[in-house]
Structure 1
Amino acid sequence: MERIVVGVSGASGVPYARRLLEELARYETVETHLVISAGAREVMRREGYDPVELERLAGFVYDPADMGASLASGSFRTGGMVIAPASATTVGKLAAGIADNLLLRAAYVHLKERRPLVVLLRETPLPLPTLRALTALAEAGAVIMPASPGFYNRPSGIEDLLDFMIQRILDHLGLEAGGPRWEAE
């Protein structure tokens, strides 16, 4: 069983996390581990989302304050981690090596253990401190993925836009993903 960690931080964009968890649930060989930060819970509340609905999609759910959880250790092997959505604050803290909650600690572990870490940034515009933090994370081995879906697949709705990004995330986790691909004419 391959473990995939999903972290949800305090940026707008929880539908990305929902679609990711739905897609990961389709793989019989994937076990999902979810951490929702306190900031994410606040954003979800304000945007009308219920964290419990997201938690139901995951195999395992962790308290972001539980720094003794298995996710906090490099000996807890995983196939990768995705932070979706990733806030600028999460990006900045992680780039600075600050791991003051379980989501950040789990991401830090993925960097130090050289495991896949996909950071789905949901922030715009990007000021210089965030750009520098993103560069530092890329240099440390993270895949930086702005929540910026393509349109060549001719999306007919929001779900198609979400699916475009989820397909890209799954690609970086080494999981076979369906959906339209770019084809030269």
Structure 2
Amino acid sequence: MTDRKRIIVGISGASGTIYGIRLLEALKELDVESHLIMSKTAELTLTYESDLKPDDVKALADEVHSIKNLAACTSSGSYKTLGMVIAPCSIRSMSEIATGVTSNLLTRSADVVLKERRKLVLMVRETPLHTGHLKTMTSLSEMGAIIAPPVPAFYNRPQTLDDLVDHSVGRVLDLFDLDTGKLKRWGEDPRHS
């Protein structure tokens, strides 16, 4: 058993792979052990959104698990973690998790995190949302998941896309009591006192 904190990072096929990438980078800087599960659709989306290759992203993680490997350590509740973040989280992945009918390691690991009452944070990337999406989110919230769409904040006066991404990732890591040191926090700036 390691003394390092562990977080499972899922990257699904929704747009916004940069959130998962930045999350892995932040966890590395914080010396938190990361376990990456990346869907095949996420690998495809990555090629549209970035010059990075899937292997570049996988190199950021401490451990990489195949989406098909339902026997991986993250599929068991006895494997201790702080929880899991799916960044970005597709509607399909969200829906599988909500029903408990999981078809791959990403959604199975999320199901395990829920059953163990650990933190599951879903950076859902879809808009607009129809009533079915909202009901699914409500159901997941009632089960203990945290729905955290990457909604930009502007009180911190972002200058770049990186600023927007860093803020969203920082807010998600706050949920695990992990501070990236990159957030401009409301009330800590004299303009907002």
Give the TM-score of the pair, scaled to structure 1.
Answer: 0.96
2:30 corresponding residue in structure 1: 27
Decide whether the 8 Å contact of 2:30 with 2:180 is kept in 1: no
2:186 corresponding residue in structure 1: 182
Matching residue's letter, 1:24: L
Deviations 1:14-73 (A, max 9, x none): 111111111110123x11000001221222233344211110110000100000111100
Q: Distance in 1 between matches of 2:117 and 2:93?
A: 19
Which blocks of at least 5 consecutive residues in structure 1 are unaligned?
none
Q: Distance in 1 between matches of 2:163 and 2:101?
A: 35
Q: Distance in 2 between matches of 1:147 and 1:170?
A: 12
Matching residue's letter, 1:101: N
Matching residue's letter, 1:139: E
1:147 corresponding residue in structure 2: 150
2:18 corresponding residue in structure 1: 15
Q: Distance in 2 between matches of 1:46 and 1:23?
A: 23
1:94 corresponding residue in structure 2: 97
Deviations 1:61-97 (A, max 9, x none): 0100000111100001101110000001111111111
Any residues of structure 2 matched to 1:1-185 within 5 Å, and which?
Answer: 1-28=4-31, 30-48=32-50, 49-178=52-181, 179-183=183-187, 184-185=192-193
Residue identity over aligned pairs, in percent, reads 45
Which blocks of at least 5 consecutive residues in structure 2 are unaligned?
none
Say if 1:107 and 1:157 are closer, same or farther in 2 by CA, change over 3 A: same
Aligned residues: 184
Q: Distance in 1 between matches of 2:162 and 2:55?
A: 21
DSSP-derived class of the 2:109 partner: helix
Quote the RMSD (CA, aligned, Å): 1.1
Q: Distance in 2 between matches of 1:47 and 1:161?
A: 16
Decide whether the 8 Å contact of 2:17 with 2:49 is kept in 1: no
DSSP-derived class of the 2:155 partner: coil
Alpha-carbon shift at residue 175 of structure 1 (Å): 1.1
Q: Distance in 2 between matches of 1:122 and 1:17?
A: 12
